[in-house]
């Protein structure tokens, strides 16, 4: 493949849940998307019994088993991160390397955003309320946001990021990895009747540079772990698809 591969994304890129089956007794069977959606309890089983050191080893093992690790790439995935965090990491990498590389970006959901709080960048998720000193800010932000406004912020971020990446001197090639986020956005736009030709045209333009996780194209196959991520088979198949794209 020649160039170094760099993968940026959230927990799907980091490989969350990939190795839980080794450390959780009676680990739940994998399910297809429709059966997983019906589950009343979708939480990842607790791994507290492993302790900090073993949890760190588990995370390292997950990264190796992820599609990024299987391709011998650098895995920059961060669980729960936002598009803004991904953009910041991509820019930091490209501006601080002298090597041509292939950049993979796995976009996150529109419900996440990033803010500079207490002298550090912090990712927020509208589905999980914080309990620390950011609670008042969080409540204000959620109360004054809509699916439409979240979508526009997400779109502005990915639009500028892709434009930056594909024109950068250190980019040999670039790809988008769809874990289902693009499908969710399409559904939101249809259900909420958000008519935005600019977003639709951009998403259509990105299609030729987008590689789907296998569960996106086959929602009947049991790829899903109990916590909502996908198993080793999904990552293995995705790695094979990417490898063929790069040949």
**pLDDT, tens digit (0-9, with 9 covering 90-100), for 198-245:** 999 999 999 999 999 999 999 999 999 999 999 999 999 999 999 999
pLDDT of 44 reads: 87
Average confidence (pLDDT) over 169-176 = 98
Burial of 32 (0-12, 13-18, 19+ CB in 10 A): middle
- Which position has the token pair 């995370």? 59
Question: Alpha-carbon Rg of the chain, whole angstroms?
Answer: 18
Structure tokens at 172: 């040999």
Residues 214 and 237: beta-carbon distance below 8 Å: yes
Residue 128 forms part of a structural domain: no
Structure tokens at 209: 């540079």
Residue 197 forms part of a structural domain: yes
Residue 236 forms part of a structural domain: yes
From CA 112, how far away is CA 82, in angstroms rounded? Answer: 5
pLDDT tops 90 at residue 55: no
Average confidence (pLDDT) over 148-175 = 97
From CA 185, how far away is CA 83, in angstroms rounded? Answer: 14
Average confidence (pLDDT) over 29-51 = 89
pLDDT of 45 reads: 86
Which residue spans within the chain are E strands per DSSP? 4-8, 74-75, 101-105, 112-117, 120-125, 171-178, 210-212
Q: Which domain holds residue 11?
A: 4-110+146-246
From CA 20, how far away is CA 27, in angstroms rounded? Answer: 8
- The secondary structure element, H or E, covering residue 205 is helix 197-206
Give the pLDDT confidence of 76-121 residue by residue, as tens digits.
999 999 999 999 999 999 999 999 999 999 999 999 999 998 889 9
Residues 57 and 23: beta-carbon distance below 8 Å: no
pLDDT tops 70 at residue 185: yes
From CA 194, how far away is CA 203, in angstroms rounded? Answer: 14
Average pLDDT, the chain: 94
Structure tokens at 133: 């000193």
* CA 45 vs CA 24, 63, 129: distances in Å: 7, 19, 20
- Which position has the token pair 């601080």? 96
pLDDT tops 80 at residue 164: yes
pLDDT of 1 reads: 54
Q: How many residues does the chain have?
A: 247
Residue 129 forms part of a structural domain: no
Residue 95 forms part of a structural domain: yes
pLDDT of 51 reads: 85
Residue 235 forms part of a structural domain: yes
From CA 71, how far away is CA 171, in angstroms rounded? Answer: 18
Residue 57 belongs to domain with CATH number: 3.40.50.1110
Residue 40 forms part of a structural domain: yes
Residue 80 forms part of a structural domain: yes
Does this model's pTM top 0.85? yes
Residues 230 and 12: beta-carbon distance below 8 Å: yes
Q: How many domains does the chain divide into? A: 1
């Amino acid at each position: 493949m020649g160039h170094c591969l760099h993968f940026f994304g959230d927990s799907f890129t980091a490989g969350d849940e990939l190795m839980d089956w080794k450390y959780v007794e009676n680990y739940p069977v994998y399910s297809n998307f429709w059966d997983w959606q019906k589950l009343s309890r979708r939480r990842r089983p607790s791994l507290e019994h492993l302790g900090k050191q073993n949890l760190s080893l588990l995370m390292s093992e997950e990264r190796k088993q992820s599609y990024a690790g299987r391709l011998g790439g650098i895995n920059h995935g961060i669980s729960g991160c936002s598009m803004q965090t991904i953009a910041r990491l991509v820019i930091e990498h490209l501006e601080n390397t002298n090597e041509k590389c292939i950049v993979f970006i796995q976009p996150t959901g529109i419900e996440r955003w990033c803010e500079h709080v207490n002298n550090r960048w912090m990712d927020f998720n509208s589905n999980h309320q914080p309990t620390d000193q950011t609670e008042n800010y969080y409540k204000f932000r959620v109360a004054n946001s809509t699916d439409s406004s979240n979508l526009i912020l997400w779109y502005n971020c990915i639009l500028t990021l892709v434009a930056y990446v594909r024109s950068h001197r250190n980019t040999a090639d670039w790809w988008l990895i769809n874990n289902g986020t693009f499908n969710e956005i399409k559904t939101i736009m249809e259900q909420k009747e958000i008519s935005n030709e600019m977003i639709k045209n951009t998403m259509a333009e990105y299609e030729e540079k987008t590689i789907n996780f296998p569960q996106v194209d086959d929602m009947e196959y049991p790829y899903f772990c109990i916590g909502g991520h996908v198993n080793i088979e999904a990552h293995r198949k995705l790695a094979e698809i990417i490898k063929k794209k790069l040949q």
